[in-house]
Every structure is written in structure tokens, then in C-alpha cells.
Structure 1
Amino acid sequence: MGMRVSLAVGVTFLGLMPLLLRAMDVAQVRSLAAKNNVTCILVFGDSSVDPGNNNVLHTNMKGNFLPYGMDFFGGRPTGRFSDGRLATDFIADAIFGYRKIIPAFLSSNLKPTDLVHGVSFASAASGYDELTANLSSVLSIPKQLEYFMHYKIKLRKLVGGGNAEHIIRNALIIMSMGTNDFLQNYYLEPIRSKEYTVEEYENFLVSRLADNIKDMYRVGGRRLVVVGVPPMGCMPVVRSIFGGNSNTCVDTYNKVASSFNSKIQKELATITATTGMKTAFVDAYALVLDAINHPQKFGLLETSKGCCGSGTVEYGDSCRGMSTCKDPSKYVFWDAVHPTQTMYKIIADEAVDSVNQHVFG
């Protein structure tokens, strides 16, 4: 009995070690951010980083209703496609401490001080391909960049031209998208699949990514974090609909995600070499796959289905008002597509490590 108890204590301590180390890292992260004059966080992308911009758009790609947000502050839905906060919210918390969330730029509740600390221009269902956004009537990346220009104008009026340039130059820009380009565009619609092979489409998306980054650079951005696409074949909805087996990841989709991520990393290396822009890549693919294959490492239990509804096909509007699992913190996926805030926190921790090494290092 005594051996069992000591063993249990030892296992518990080992499980807590990463958390203890992470807690100690926070002070270092904030010190490095201050040393590198990080001013704010500016976000571009899809539902993985949209805190509610889609709430004001004429689209059905929304998550501003329960059970979305059930674990957010006050248990309220905000438009975030999760039970709580997103990775970008946790990154802001880690870097600044006094900022618990990144607000939506189009939010009616946006305050002038929010402009100084950072906003998200992201739009759920968007992608590197403009067609992807157009299919769902959401904000394309060119449109998000247009709002970035509006942001800069508002910032100049608020703090003056010189200060606005300083804020944007020292901002941490985060881009997270790409999944919709494949799942909601290439593999569902007949347009791009007739124009490109999968590999050619990957190259097309990377060229769009490069053009978008150049636009950000012209506006003043100098620090960029790109989040790679996750293992798409392991999403519950893909397993259920495309794979025919809810317990097995669809290998062909995962291979595309892995290939695409490799091309993004090569492009970022080229951009850094040609512009001097500091870039970092967050390997969401490896991280999510690790959580799925070794859930015990992260304190997780359920890896094959989401917490909302049956967990196999529901996301967005089909998740509205559905019953949920008892403990989302033990799940990788919140709905059949999107991670729980627990998984987003894990991704955020990896992102902060990558920023420390490649942007602050």
C-alpha cells in the first residue's frame, strides 16, 4: 500500500513537472518580451484565431452561441470556436500578463486602448486562397490586410504617427490558417481541384502566403509567427465523413498537411533571408498528433471525438444548443473540427517557446 502511494505521488509529481517549469518560464517570457520591446499582438487567420469578427458578418460561420464559450470568462459565447480561450489569448497572457484575451477588431466593444495592445483581424472559414473565404462569405486575407490598414490609421490618430510605426514594427504578428483551403475548398468544391493537383495547390497557397507577408512587411510588420496546419485527417469530422472510421486518422489528409507545412517552413526561411524579417513556425501538426497518440503526457483522455453533441460531425451551427461532455479539459477536440481551450493552451505554450528561440533569440 505504501509503495502504491509513493508511486502515485511520484507519477503525480512527474506529471506536474512540465506545469512547474512552465510557471517558472512565464517570468522569463515576459522579461524577454520587454527586452525586445514587444508592443502588441496582431492576428490574421481563420477560426483557430477568430475571437468574434464573424459575429458581424452575413455568414453562417459563427460560434457566438452556447455551448461555445461555456468555459470562457463568465461562461459566455464570444464567437470563439472553442469552449474557452484561443491560443492567441493564451499567448497574450503569457507575454503581457495584463492582457487575458485578444479582441476582435470588428467588435462593437473594442476600446481605444485595445488598439495599442493588439487585435485580431481573423475570420472563421478563411484561408490563404481568397476563394476559400468567398465560399463562406467571410473575410479573405486581402480584406483582413485592408482592416490592418484601417487599424494603422486609427492607431496614428490615437498615439501619433511615430508611436504607431513603433507599435507595429515591434508587434508580434500571428498567422494561423490553411485547413479550410483543403477541407472546405479543394476537397469539396470542383473549382481548384480541376485547376491544380494537390501539390500544385500547396504551392499556390504558399505563394499567396508569401504575398501576404510582403504586404504585412510593407505596412511595417517585422516579427511574424506562422502556425502550421494541424493533422487534418485526425479531425473527428474528417474521420467520420471522409475516412469512414471514426477511430482512425485519414492518412492521405495528414500527408497533405505535413507536406504543406514543410513548404511553409521553407518559404519562411526565404523571407527571413531576403527581408531580415524575424519569423517563427509553430508545428501544430506534430503537437496535436502527439496529444492524440500520447494523451497521458498532456493529461488528456479523449482524442477521437469532440465534446459537443455526438462529437463526430457537429461544429458551428450544428453544435448550437447541443449537450456536451462533462469535462472538456480532458478532450483534444471541442467540436468535430476545433480544439478545446486545453489543447489551445498546449499550442500556445509551443508558440511561446518558438518565439523565444526564433524571434527573441
Structure 2
Amino acid sequence: MIMVVSKVALLTILAVALLPWLPNAVDINHMKQLAAQHNVTCILTFGDSSVDPGNNNRLATPMKGNFPPYGKDFFNGRPTGRFTNGRLATDFIAEALGYTKVIPAFLDPNLKPTDLLHGVSFASAASGYDDFTANLSEVLTVSKQLEYFRHYKLHLGKLVGQQKAEYIIRNAIIVLSMGTNDFLQDYYLEPERPKQFTVEQYQNYLASCMFSDIKEMNRLGITRVVVVGVPPLGCMPLVKTLKGESSCVKSYNQVAASFNSKIQEKLAILRTTHGLKTAFVDCYKVIEDAVTRPRQYGLEEVSKGCCGTGAIEYGDTCKGLSTCADASKYAFWDAVHPTEAMYRIVADEAIKSLSETLLA
């Protein structure tokens, strides 16, 4: 088993990391039982900017976040390519499980062989379930991310041997997080997909793409998959600005909620037909709740981002701008992406989902 902490230590870390942030505290005894019963080896992530720690730094794309003020609250205050002020939800999950404080990008030139044991990310900001979405921004499609996963398997096999590599992958937790760009950067901005699909048809198409991607992952040895739902799109500051609304845009939120239901239907089929262990992280619910009841989560500002005016800036347009004094009180870092504080809250929801479904 590739793990350097004891199960007791792992649960101690988990409890300390999560309890202060959850309105409903984690059941420590239950988590101890899970640690005794399951040997999770690492976390591997696929998706978009919500789980990309810097793969886009190595791509010829404008979709980058490797400059200030991004990374303002990261270790040493340095930008890494994460589209937030600090760490992502997957970083917190990995730390809670005792592996590493951050999940590195697979394309990071400084990646060490031992990093492969603790988990890496193949995600690419601006990607989506629809390959056309990724191609719009010249970032990694899911099929390309899976190609890099195959490279990862080869490197891992050389490092620890084929049998151990297969064990690591079989017991890894896979996090899949995307879908936002399919709607906001593709369907609602570009003319091609609306000509081909109604909104509901496009939702079905994306869900089918996800279904096929997970089947391919399973063929490659993966057995445990966590899918993060689409957030309440209408609550993003940029969407509210573009639609001229001061509160969350209901029509966009309805699209997100409907798509999340379709994701869960597909996951239920995968559990039945392929024997996969799956979990769904309802980030829609937790982010909507945080926006509605911010003080319950230690937040104060949920209507705008911390960067610039907080109404329209993200990515390049956030570059070099001044920021709010205390990002820990904000739900959004820029006009699209959550703060580290919000990612902590999402990570807590993910841990709950893992304990209740994937590792039950």
C-alpha cells in the first residue's frame, strides 16, 4: 500500500482538516471505520479549471492563471496556474487523506517520480465534456487527458512495477469535475451547438460523453469515480453582470440543476452495468446554500469576486489587478471562480459524499 501515514494518523488529519469548516461535522468514528475498511491509494483528477493546478501553463492557450493576483494566498504567495487565490478543493481532499498538501499538474516540468504515488491532475482549464468546448480554447480535451493518464500508468509501472501500479490505479479515487464551460463558453456563446441541440438535448449529449469517458476509465483499470456536479451557473458574478441581474439568474441555475440530475442518472447506470463505485458531489447545493446563507459558512461577500471590480474580470482580465483585503470572506475570487475558502467548503461536501456512497 502506497501510504506513509498510519490509519489513526490519517483520521486525525481528516478530522482536524474538516471539522472547523462543516456546518454538519464529520462523524470521526465513521471515518475511522472507513479507513480500516478501504485502502485508497491516491487521487487522480480530470476536468476543467476547478481541478487544474497548472497543466495549461504548458499549453499554447490564453486560458492561464499563472500570474498575480492568482495564487495570492497559496504557499509563498505564488501563482501556480490554479484559477483561485490558493488551493483547490481536490488539494484539500488530498491533504485530508494524508497524501499531499497539493495535487500537482501532470505536465508540471518539476514533477518528481514519487509525486505519481500521491496523485496528479490531468485537468485543463476551459475544458468540458464536449471536446468542441476544449478545442475552442485550445486546451486538453478529455480524450487528451485520458491519453496523459495512459502515460501516467506507464511511468507508474516503471516506478513500482506493473502489479503494484495496477493496485494503485484500482484503489485510486478519480475526481471528474467539468461542465461549466460547456454551457457558458460553448452553448451560450458559440452558434454551432445551439443549431444542433436544444438545451435539454445538449445536456443529454454531455451526459452521454461523460458516460463514455468513465467507461473508458474503467477499461483502463479505474473502479472508483467521483463526479462533481455543475455549480449554480446563474450565481456567478460574471453571469449576473452579463444578464443585468443583481441576484442569481434562475434560468441558468435551472439548466445546471437539470444537468446534474442527468449526471446522477448516468452514474446509477454505471454502478449497475459496470460495477463501478461512484459518488456525486452536489457542489450546486453547497454553493447555492453558501450564497444564500453566507454567514453560516464564515463568508460575508457572495455577490462579487475579490479581483478587480469582481463583476467581470477573470483570467487575463484579472492580471495585475488589486484585490479585496480578505479573500477568506468572499465566495468568489474572480467573476467566475471560487475562492480557496469556497473550495474548502466544496471539499467538505466531497468528503461527506465519499463517506456516504463511494466508500460505504
Same fold, TM-score > 0.5, yes or no: yes
- Give the superposition deviation at 1:33: 3.9
- The number of residue pairs the alignment matches comes to 343
Counterpart of 2:45 in structure 1 is 43
Structure 1: stretches of 5+ with no match in the other structure: 1-15
Structure 1 CA distance for aligned equivalents of residues 149 and 294 of structure 2: 38
Structure 2 CA distance for aligned equivalents of residues 150 and 212 of structure 1: 17
Letter in 1 for 2:351: V
Counterpart of 1:277 in structure 2 is 276
**Is the 1:30–1:95 contact (alpha carbons within 8 Å) kept by the matching residues of 2?**
no
**Is the 1:62–1:317 contact (alpha carbons within 8 Å) kept by the matching residues of 2?**
yes
Q: CA offsets per residue over residues 234-286 of structure 1, 9 Å max, x none?
A: 10000001x212x2111111100000000000110110011110000000111
Counterpart of 2:306 in structure 1 is 307
Q: What TM-score, normalized by structure 2, do the two folds share?
A: 0.92
Q: CA offsets per residue over residues 113-134 of structure 1, 9 Å max, x none?
A: 1111110000000000000000
Q: CA offsets per residue over residues 155-182 of structure 1, 9 Å max, x none?
A: 1111111001000000000000000000
**Structure 2 residue 61 is the aligned partner of structure 1 residue 59:** yes
Counterpart of 1:92 in structure 2 is 94
- Give the superposition deviation at 1:34: 5.6
Structure 1 CA distance for aligned equivalents of residues 32 and 322 of structure 2: 39
**Is the 1:29–1:95 contact (alpha carbons within 8 Å) kept by the matching residues of 2?**
no
Structure 2 CA distance for aligned equivalents of residues 190 and 143 of structure 1: 25
**Structure 2 residue 204 is the aligned partner of structure 1 residue 203:** yes
C-alpha change, 1:25 and 1:322, in structure 2 (3 Å) is farther
Letter in 2 for 1:244: G
**Is the 2:232–2:257 contact (alpha carbons within 8 Å) kept by the matching residues of 1?**
yes
Structure 2 CA distance for aligned equivalents of residues 88 and 26 of structure 1: 20
Counterpart of 1:236 in structure 2 is 237
| Matched position secondary structure for 1:43 | strand
Structure 1 CA distance for aligned equivalents of residues 39 and 55 of structure 2: 28
Counterpart of 1:329 in structure 2 is 328
Counterpart of 1:184 in structure 2 is 185
Pairing of 1:256-275 with structure 2 (within 5 A):
256-275=255-274
| Matched position secondary structure for 2:57 | helix
- Give the superposition deviation at 1:360: 1.2
Letter in 2 for 1:128: Y
Q: Percent identity?
A: 64
**Is the 2:21–2:348 contact (alpha carbons within 8 Å) kept by the matching residues of 1?**
no
Pairing of 1:141-180 with structure 2 (within 5 A):
141-180=142-181
Letter in 1 for 2:306: C
| Matched position secondary structure for 1:279 | strand
Counterpart of 2:15 in structure 1 is none
Letter in 2 for 1:283: D
Counterpart of 2:72 in structure 1 is 70
Instruction: Decide which structure has the larger Cα Rg and report it.
Output: 1
Structure 1 CA distance for aligned equivalents of residues 292 and 196 of structure 2: 36
Counterpart of 2:251 in structure 1 is 252
Counterpart of 1:345 in structure 2 is 344
Counterpart of 1:5 in structure 2 is none
**Is the 2:48–2:177 contact (alpha carbons within 8 Å) kept by the matching residues of 1?**
yes
- Give the superposition deviation at 1:35: 3.2
**Is the 2:234–2:248 contact (alpha carbons within 8 Å) kept by the matching residues of 1?**
yes
**Is the 1:177–1:229 contact (alpha carbons within 8 Å) kept by the matching residues of 2?**
yes
Structure 1 CA distance for aligned equivalents of residues 23 and 193 of structure 2: 46
| Matched position secondary structure for 1:112 | coil
- Give the superposition deviation at 1:32: 2.4
